[in-house]
């Protein structure tokens, strides 16, 4: 298990407010350091709460913020299941971000081709051996998946590509690979609710093959939880 930092907030609202404070700080640091703030967004109801909150925050530097997606369902961008649509409705339609700063996954050809296309796009943006996102936002599922890296799927084994095609119950998903995720400067898991307490205990207290436990960070790996999600962690985690 890689080392990580854990922050437990009383409730989802407090957790999201704290995450937004760090978003602003990391954005300022990244823009000062290298002129832009690159963020890979996550799908899911928990990250969505952060997007809605960020949409209301004044004076965030959207001009220099580039938004990517860590994974995407293989549906049109206006489909109810689309992570891009969810982000558009909760954040993008409410902020002054230039259209050229948005990098959604293509989902109109076939999954393998669109995953390759996205990798090429990322390589043009980063021009490095691996993408170094300033911030990688992630959620976890009750089965320990993160992004669209689901237990027992071939996507977990991909080590030489930035993107791949994941699989959820037979449905294709587009996703960053572990190496593409693990070269990020900051990785932040956002996890809330009692429904995640059991999987979090499994992920944070013992070595396991669960996908989310394979995530590392070049810089900080942060687990942001609310009290309900942290309820089954050993006491020393919560002191
Ligand atoms: C997705 C996400 C997925 C999500 C987790 C947690 O496309 O759905 O990438 O990994 O983050 O399933 O989702 P919740 O926060 O809604 O439980």
Strand 171-176, strand 163-168: pairing: antiparallel
| Contact indicator for 182, 149 with CB cutoff of 8 Å | no
Q: Residue 10: pLDDT above 80?
A: yes
Give dist(CA 153, CA 137) in Å, integer.
Answer: 21
What is the pLDDT, as a whole number, of residue 239?
62
Q: Residue 123: pLDDT above 80?
A: yes
What is the pLDDT, as a whole number, of residue 3?
84
Ligand 1 atom index nearest CA of 175? 9
Q: What is the mean pLDDT of residues 34-55?
A: 97
Per-residue pLDDT band at 121 (split at 50, 70, 90): very high
pTM across the whole model: 0.96
131 lines ligand 1 (CB under 6 A): no
With pLDDT > 90 as the criterion, what percentage of the chain qualifies? 96
49 lines ligand 1 (CB under 6 A): no
Pocket test of ligand 1: the residue of 15, 41, 140, 212 to mutate, having most ligand atoms within 8 Å of its CB, is 140
Tallying the residues shown for the chain, one arrives at 239
What is the pLDDT, as a whole number, of residue 45?
95
The pLDDT tens digits for 78-94 are 999 999 999 999 999 99
Q: What is the token pair recorded at 64?
A: 């220099």
Distances, alpha carbon 79 to alpha carbons 39, 83, 122, 135, 138, in Å = 23, 9, 24, 26, 21
């Amino acid at each position: 298990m890689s080392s990580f930092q854990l922050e437990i907030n009383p409730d989802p609202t407090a957790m999201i407010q704290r995450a937004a404070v760090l978003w602003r700080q990391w954005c300022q640091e990244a823009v000062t350091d290298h002129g832009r703030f690159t963020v890979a967004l996550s799908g899911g109801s928990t990250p969505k709460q952060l997007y809605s909150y960020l949409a209301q925050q004044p004076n965030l530097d959207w001009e220099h913020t580039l938004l990517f997606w860590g994974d995407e369902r293989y549906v049109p961008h206006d489909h109810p299941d689309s992570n891009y649509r969810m982000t558009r409705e909760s954040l993008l339609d409410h902020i002054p971000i230039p259209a050229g700063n948005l990098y959604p996954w293509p989902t109109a050809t076939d999954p393998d081709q669109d995953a390759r296309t996205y990798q090429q796009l990322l390589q043009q943006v980063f021009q490095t051996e691996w993408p170094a996102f300033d911030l990688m936002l992630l959620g976890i599922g009750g089965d320990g998946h993160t992004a669209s890296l689901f237990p027992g799927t071939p996507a977990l084994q991909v080590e030489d590509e930035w993107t791949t095609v994941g699989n959820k119950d037979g449905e294709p998903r587009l996703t960053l690979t572990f190496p593409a995720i693990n070269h990020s400067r900051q990785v932040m898991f956002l996890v809330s609710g009692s429904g995640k307490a059991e999987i979090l205990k499994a992920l944070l207290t013992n070595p396991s093959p669960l996908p989310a436990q394979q995530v590392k960070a070049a810089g900080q790996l942060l687990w942001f939880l609310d009290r309900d999600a942290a309820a089954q962690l050993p006491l020393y985690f919560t002191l």
